């Protein structure tokens, strides 16, 4: 095999050293390149309008091989300036020919081309790829965030709609006004509870007979007096319950709820600095507004200036008429005016309502105990069969079935008066701070929904901007890789000419891209 047929393999990473070692280029070639770059920058300012030149000057670092192509194009555009001796009179042509001469001196162009090749391979192309990869990762994260914000919006919508459903309002008009309108349903609800309470007459009779039989005839049987009163007279005013006479007139206390005039139709205006009351616990269909009230304890809720609810056995109904403002005529309390808390019905007044609920729990506990005795061992019964010989017929004839039916009746009324909706309406009417908490919580949810919608729009805009950057970098990457391959081929061909056209291979280099 002849030497001419043996290819020359050059490691692209060591091309610069190879050129210097074989004395194709000098070590100080860098000192002359600055002058050439300055002339190129000046020559670019005065170029003819030509598509080929525009393509060469875009998207890549201008090297010697580009300058050769530019001169070839100028031979066409500046042909009319050529004289008889074959020289061009155009300053453009003179500038670029001067640039080529400076490049070709000591093969400066070859050393620069080798440097550009390795810079593109080691830095330019990897850097553009890293930018695209980083932007694609950012795009994925933005899409994930948009999905999370959408999920948060849906959760807030669900919680908002669940809370509105719990309160029995739509939530699309002024919230406080809707709450005030819902309070008007309470009288009908309490009237229904009072009607159902009349079905407890057998339960009360059974309980009273048991207490009387247990403690003897001398015992003043005044148990569950509130329930007895409602069975007999219904849900009267507190005035009538207290004094035994119906009032001449009733002055209903006004609702101490301030309508929010700042709320717009559709959605309330929510300040960005609204107090955060935390997440609502809707798992059991209730709103978490702090500690629950222990109704069995007969206590009350501390609402600031509002009077706390006292246990049923501690209520003092010896109210001073002068202090209450009731107008009393000569004949007892006839003609009195019910006002303030005495204008409320028994089931509406927080104090008497609490007493009524406590007495229902008292009946429930008693009936559960009797039912347990029926199902248990007779020896463990509170009253044995022999003791029941002297008891009333209602006690003697009671069975597991009748006791269970009476317990069911008590629990039906308890479940109705302690229903979430009734509890909310009662709190809304009597505790203004409760209304503030409800209204603020609803505003919080709407504010959260709006923020999530805004965040989603922001994420979509960022995705669009990121995608635009990616779309700009991908063509640039393709162009740089293409120009780098062309440059490597041109270097191989140029070196080949210096070795009698032997085949030259640059290993690595663009093949690594």
The stretches in the chain having pLDDT less than 70 are: 1-3, 58-60, 80, 83-86, 173, 216-221, 256-335, 376-393, 396-397, 513
Give alpha helix (H) positions in 292-417. Answer: 321-324, 350-375, 393-396, 400-417
148 inside domain: no
Residue 471, domain member (yes or no): yes
* In a domain? residue 239: yes
Q: Where do runs of H (alpha helix) occur along 78-167?
A: 91-104, 108-119, 125-167
Residue 362 forms part of a structural domain: yes
Residue 103 in domain: no
CA distance 88 to 77: 11
Cα–Cα distance for residue pair 349/345, rounded to 1 Å? 6
Alpha-carbon gap, residue 162 to 285, rounded angstroms: 8
Contact 483, 59 (CB under 8 A): yes
Other CB atoms within 10 A of residue 262 CB:
9
Quick one: tokens of 471? 């779309």
- Residues 163/445, Cβ–Cβ less than 8 Å: yes
Concatenate the DSSP letters of all residues of 18-30 into one string: HHHHTTSS-TTTH
CA–CA–CA angle 153, 158, 161 (5° rounding): 120
Identify the three-state secondary structure at position 385. coil
Q: Which residues share a beta bridge with 250?
A: 338
Determine the pLDDT at residue 174: 78
Measured from the Cβ of residue 337, the count of other Cβ atoms closer than 10 Å reads: 17
Write the DSSP symbol of residue 14: G
Range of the domain at 479: 163-253+337-495
**φ, ψ (nearest 5 deg) of residue 272:** -65, -20
User: Is residue 281 within 8 Å of residue 288, measured between CB atoms?
Assistant: yes
pLDDT at 301: 38
For the record, the structure tokens of 161 come out as 């709609």
**Paired sense of beta strands 8-11 and 337-338, if any:** unpaired
Write phi, then psi, for 232 (nearest 5 degrees).
-80, -45
Pairwise CA distance, residues 334 & 163, whole Å: 46
- Determine the pLDDT at residue 500: 87
Q: In the structure encoding, which two tokens stand for residue 309, read together?
A: 């609810």
Q: How far is CA 73 from the centre of its chain?
A: 63
Contact (Cβ atoms closer than 8 angstroms) between residue 303 and residue 216: no
How far is residue 420's CA from residue 287's CA, in Å, rounded to a whole number? Answer: 9
**Does residue 121 fall inside a structural domain?**
no
Classify residue 424: in a domain, yes or no: yes
pLDDT score recorded for residue 386: 47
Residue 360 in tokens: 């229902």
Task: Give the pairing type, strands 8-11 and 504-507.
Answer: parallel
Contacts of 249 (CB under 8 A, 6+ apart): 337, 338
**DSSP states along 192-240:** HHHHHHGGGHHHHHHHHHHHHHHH-TTS---TTHHHHHHHHH-S-BHHH
pTM over 0.85: no
pLDDT at 262: 43
Query: Is 17 within a domain?
Result: no
pLDDT of residue 373: 81
Domain count, the chain: 1
Element of type H or E holding 487: helix 432-498
């Amino acid at each position: 095999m002849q030497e001419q047929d043996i290819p020359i393999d050059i490691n692209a990473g060591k091309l610069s050293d190879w050129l210097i070692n074989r004395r194709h280029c000098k070590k100080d070639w860098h000192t002359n390149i600055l002058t050439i770059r300055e002339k190129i920058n000046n020559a670019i300012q005065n170029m003819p309008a030509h598509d080929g030149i525009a393509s060469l000057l875009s998207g890549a670092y201008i090297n010697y091989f580009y300058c050769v192509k530019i001169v070839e194009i100028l031979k066409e555009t500046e042909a009319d300036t050529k004289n008889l001796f074959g020289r061009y009179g155009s300053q453009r042509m003179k500038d670029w020919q001067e640039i080529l001469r400076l490049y070709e001196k000591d093969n400066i162009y070859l050393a620069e081309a080798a440097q550009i090749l390795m810079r593109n391979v080691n830095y330019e192309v990897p850097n553009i790829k890293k930018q695209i990869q980083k932007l694609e990762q950012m795009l994925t994260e933005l899409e994930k965030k948009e999905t999370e914000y959408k999920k948060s919006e849906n959760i807030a919508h669900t919680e908002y709609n669940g809370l509105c459903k719990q309160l029995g309002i739509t939530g699309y008009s002024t919230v406080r006004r809707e709450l005030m309108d819902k309070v008007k349903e309470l009288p009908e609800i309490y009237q229904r509870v009072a009607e159902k309470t009349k079905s407890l007459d057998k339960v009360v009779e059974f309980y009273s007979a048991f207490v009387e039989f247990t403690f003897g005839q001398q015992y003043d049987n005044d148990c569950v007096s509130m329930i007895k009163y409602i069975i007999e007279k219904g849900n009267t005013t507190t005035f009538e319950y207290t004094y035994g006479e119906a009032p001449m007139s009733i002055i209903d206390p006004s609702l101490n709820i301030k309508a929010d005039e700042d709320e717009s139709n559709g959605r309330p205006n929510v300040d960005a600095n609204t107090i955060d009351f935390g997440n609502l616990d809707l798992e059991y269909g209730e709103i978490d507004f702090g500690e629950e009230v222990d109704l069995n304890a007969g206590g009350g809720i501390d609402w600031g200036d509002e009077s706390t609810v006292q246990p049923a056995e501690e209520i003092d109904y010896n109210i001073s008429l002068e202090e209450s403002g009731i107008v009393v005529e000569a004949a007892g309390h006839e003609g009195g005016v019910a006002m303030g808390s005495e204008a409320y019905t028994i089931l509406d007044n927080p104090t008497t309502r609490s007493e009524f609920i406590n007495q229902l729990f008292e009946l429930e506990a008693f009936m559960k105990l009797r039912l347990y005795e029926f199902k248990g061992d007779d020896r463990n019964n509170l009253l044995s069969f022999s003791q029941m010989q002297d008891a009333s017929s209602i006690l003697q004839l009671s069975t597991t079935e009748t006791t269970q039916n009476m317990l069911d009746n008590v629990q039906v009324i308890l479940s109705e008066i302690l229903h979430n909706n009734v509890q909310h309406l009662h709190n809304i009417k009597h505790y203004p701070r409760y209304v503030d908490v409800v209204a603020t919580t609803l505003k919080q949810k709407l504010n959260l929904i709006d923020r999530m919608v805004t965040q989603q729009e922001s994420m979509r805009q960022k995705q669009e901007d990121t995608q635009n950057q990616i779309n700009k970098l991908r063509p640039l990457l393709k162009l740089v890789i293409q120009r780098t391959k062309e440059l490597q081929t041109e270097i191989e061909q140029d070196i080949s000419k210096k070795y009698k056209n032997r085949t030259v291979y640059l290993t690595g280099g663009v093949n690594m891209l």
